[in-house]
């Protein structure tokens, strides 16, 4: 007895030492993937236009620093806008292991302190630039004497001064409306071009209000206290003087986006950016939506955009695109779980070689094993608890709840427990038989789901179940072989022999996953179709072994089957027989009616 205990302990020590001795390639790979994804995500957060090739250099460096190499990098997009990166990393060594990580980037835009809304005037000059710079300020409140962001708004001449300065045509000093009137070259109302100024109060020679004519019979101005910078018709503003500070020249082309922005009273530069980035296709509809959002969020254009687009990150990218490089862009980078591959495929993202870690129907991708390998289910049950704890812990990453998966594994574990604890040996065999049938069915289902994808990817609960199944399967093989050797009845020898062969096949099937299956740090492992086939065949052989040991169950099953078939046949033919019976009765009744002739 003592020698057996020592041997058992030595075996346990060997197993533990083997697991500890296995290099932590899996953990290294996951860490390298995490760091590579973070590096690429950080680069993307500062430069949303960076391509996958641009991002790969930084990711490669981070992966190398952690002992891995980047296998693939995908720049993720959401509604056409950059949203993150997904990186797959391999660690080469005695046991090559791959791991993937996904970094999500949430962008934030920051306008320069003390400035009004910057606007990207690239390609614009003269009148068009003045109008664009002024049109970008729609929505600011009127503040008397206002000329800086610190003051929180504009007055009428402050708006003109800002627009000309932003367009590169700075005016001397800080002119008032009267100063602008004196500086300008009078023009007739009919000759007004976008960028010209319109005044109120020129009759006395010292106008007290000024606006910018933006074309299409519309004036942009900061009207009065309590109002906001906005558009008004030229005909109804009381404008009585018109002047130009800009050289005469061809009028800028009035594009439909600017016209839509004017009609809805929204900043033209962000509306144009939304259309450029593909977030909207109809200028009128987008302008109307932005106007509604601005009414709900009058204090912040970025908040209004976020409400309109449903994403603060998209709003920041629009602000940056419309405002140019003066709008600072930063991003919060967070690692998120790599989602289900099936969902990725539905979204049209890069297909991956592995199948979902969770097969359709929510069942975890744990492999099936022979009915007597109790340790796999015990490990699975324990690991389910571990996963829940991990989810509740401060990991910084969401871990999908696997309660349903754990429940299924616990149910299977319950069958195994019954198979070990029931008092009657026949009952134990019956429970194990049901478990083996379950395993056969699961393996066949996994095989059909994974055959096209090149294998079944194991992770989380499934991976741990597989690890314990290997150990449990090896143990079962030995026990069944010993029972077959010592059995006295022939059918017991054959039955236990079949079970030993089945367990061996199941274990061999799992081992086809390779070193990543047992590497403690590995987070994923792929069982190829040939392995799944071995598992299915092995579980089937186990079922056969139980039936060989209990031929009476086969006879009972045959009797039940025959009875079921008979009942089904009777149920199916009942309507026909009922009709025939009614017809016979009718015929008999008709024959019994006396005839007068």
Partner 1 sequence: MRRRQSGQSSVEMIGCAVLLALTTVAVLEALTIVRARITAERVADQAAVLVGEGRPLPASLRGAAQIERHGDHVVVTVPLPLRLPALPAAAVVTATVPP
Q: Which residues bind partner 1 (CB under 8 A)?
A: 2-3, 5-6, 9-10, 12-13, 16-17, 19-20, 24, 27, 30-31, 34-36, 38-39, 42, 58, 61-62, 65-66, 332-335, 393-397, 520-521
Closer to partner 1 by Cβ: residue 67 or 454 = 67
Residue 33 near residue 97 (C-beta atoms within 8 A):
no
Residue identified by tokens 């429970």 is: 431
Three-state SS string over 463-506 comes to HHHHHHHHHHHHHHHHHHHHHHHHCCCHHHHHHHHHHHHHHHHH
Distances (CA, A) of 79 to 86, 277, 279, 310, 320: 17, 9, 7, 11, 17
Closer to partner 1 by Cβ: residue 395 or 577 = 395
474 C-beta neighbours (distance < 10 Å), count? 19
Give CA–CA dist 198/239, Å, rounded: 6
DSSP result, 311-364 = -HHHHHHHHHHHHGGGSEEEEEEEEEPPPPHHHHHHTT----SSPPSB-TTS-B
Residue 330 C-beta: closest distance to partner 1, Å = 11
Residue 105 near residue 331 (C-beta atoms within 8 A):
yes
Closer to partner 1 by Cβ: residue 21 or 596 = 21
State the distance between the two ends of the chain, measured CA to CA, in whole angstroms: 105
Residue 485 near residue 495 (C-beta atoms within 8 A):
no
Residue 293 near residue 308 (C-beta atoms within 8 A):
yes
Closer to partner 1 by Cβ: residue 244 or 516 = 516
Residue 5 C-beta: closest distance to partner 1, Å = 6
Residue 106 C-beta: closest distance to partner 1, Å = 11
Nearest 5°: the CA angle 472, 474, 480 is 95
Q: Which residues are registered as beta bridge partners of 435?
A: none
Closer to partner 1 by Cβ: residue 59 or 234 = 59
Closer to partner 1 by Cβ: residue 393 or 594 = 393
Give CA–CA dist 547/491, Å, rounded: 10
Residue 402 C-beta: closest distance to partner 1, Å = 18
Closer to partner 1 by Cβ: residue 13 or 168 = 13
Closer to partner 1 by Cβ: residue 39 or 197 = 39
Give CA–CA dist 374/385, Å, rounded: 17
Residue 495 C-beta: closest distance to partner 1, Å = 35
Residue identified by tokens 């194991």 is: 458
Residue 32 C-beta: closest distance to partner 1, Å = 9
Closer to partner 1 by Cβ: residue 61 or 448 = 61
Locate 245 and state its tokens.
């500070």
Give CA–CA dist 72/53, Å, rounded: 10
Closer to partner 1 by Cβ: residue 14 or 144 = 14
Residue 484 C-beta: closest distance to partner 1, Å = 30
Residue 11 C-beta: closest distance to partner 1, Å = 10
Give CA–CA dist 533/448, Å, rounded: 10
Residue 103 C-beta: closest distance to partner 1, Å = 9
Residue 396 C-beta: closest distance to partner 1, Å = 5
Nearest 5°: the CA angle 345, 349, 351 is 60
Residue 406 C-beta: closest distance to partner 1, Å = 20
Residue 303 C-beta: closest distance to partner 1, Å = 24
Residues ≥6 apart with Cβ < 8 Å to 77: 83
E-state strands within 430-582: 456-459, 524-527
């Amino acid at each position: 007895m003592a020698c057996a205990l020592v041997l058992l302990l030595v075996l346990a020590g060997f197993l533990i030492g083997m697991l500890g001795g296995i290099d932590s390639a899996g953990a290294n790979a996951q860490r390298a993937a995490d760091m590579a994804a973070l590096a690429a995500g950080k680069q993307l957060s500062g430069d949303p236009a960076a391509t996958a090739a641009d991002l790969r250099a930084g990711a490669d460096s981070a992966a190398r620093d952690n002992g891995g190499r980047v296998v693939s990098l995908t720049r993720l997009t959401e509604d056409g806008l950059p949203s993150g990166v997904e990186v797959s990393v391999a660690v080469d060594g005695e046991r090559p292991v791959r791991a993937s990580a996904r970094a999500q980037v949430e962008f934030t835009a920051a306008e320069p302190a003390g400035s009004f809304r910057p606007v990207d005037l690239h390609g614009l000059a003269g009148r068009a630039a003045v109008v664009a710079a002024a049109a970008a300020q729609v929505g600011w409140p009127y503040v008397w004497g206002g000329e800086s962001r610190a003051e929180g708004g504009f007055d009428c001449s402050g708006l003109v001064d800002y627009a000309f300065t932003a367009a590169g045509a700075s005016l001397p000093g800080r002119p008032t409306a009267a100063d602008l009137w004196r500086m300008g070259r009078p023009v007739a109302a009919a000759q007004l071009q976008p960028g010209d100024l319109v005044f109120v109060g020129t009759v006395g020679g010292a106008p007290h209000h000024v606006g910018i004519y933006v074309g299409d019979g519309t004036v942009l101005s900061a009207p009065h206290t309590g109002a906001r910078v906005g558009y008004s018709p030229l005909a109804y503003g009381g404008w009585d003087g018109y002047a130009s500070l800009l050289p005469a020249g061809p009028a800028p082309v009035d594009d439909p986006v600017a016209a839509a922005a004017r009609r809805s009273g929204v900043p033209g530069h962000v509306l144009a950016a939304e259309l450029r980035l593909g977030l909207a296709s109809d200028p009128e509809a987008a302008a109307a939506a932005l106007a509604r959002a601005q009414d709900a969020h009058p204090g912040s254009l970025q908040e209004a955009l976020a409400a309109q687009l449903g994403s603060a990150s998209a709003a920041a990218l629009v602000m940056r695109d419309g405002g140019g490089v003066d709008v600072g862009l930063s991003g919060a980078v967070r690692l998120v779980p790599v989602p289900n591959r099936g969902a990725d495929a539905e979204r049209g993202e890069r297909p991956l070689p592995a199948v979902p870690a969770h097969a359709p129907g929510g069942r975890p991708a744990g492999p099936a094993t022979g009915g007597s390998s109790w340790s796999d289910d015990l490990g699975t049950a324990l690991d389910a608890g571990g996963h829940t704890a991990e989810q509740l812990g401060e990991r910084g990453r969401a871990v999908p709840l696997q309660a349903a998966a754990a429940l299924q594994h616990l149910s299977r574990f319950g069958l195994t427990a019954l198979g070990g604890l029931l008092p009657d040996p026949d009952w134990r065999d019956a429970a194990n038989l049901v478990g083996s049938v379950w395993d056969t069915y699961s393996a066949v289902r996994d095989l059909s789901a994974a055959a096209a994808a090149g294998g079944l990817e194991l992770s989380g609960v499934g991976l741990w179940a597989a690890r314990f199944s290997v150990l449990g399967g090896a143990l079962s093989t030995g026990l069944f072989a010993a029972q077959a050797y010592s059995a006295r009845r022939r059918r017991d020898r054959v039955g236990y022999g079949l079970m030993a062969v089945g367990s061996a096949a199941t274990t061999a099937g799992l081992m086809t996953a390779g070193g990543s299956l047992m590497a403690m740090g590995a987070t994923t492992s792929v069982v190829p179709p040939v392995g799944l086939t071995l598992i299915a065949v092995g579980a089937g052989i186990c079922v056969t072994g139980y039936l060989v040991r209990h031929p009476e169950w086969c006879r009972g099953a045959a009797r039940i089957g025959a009875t079921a078939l008979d009942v089904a046949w009777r149920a199916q033919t009942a309507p026909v027989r009922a009709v025939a019976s009614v017809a016979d009765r009718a015929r008999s009744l008709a024959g019994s009616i006396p005839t007068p002739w």
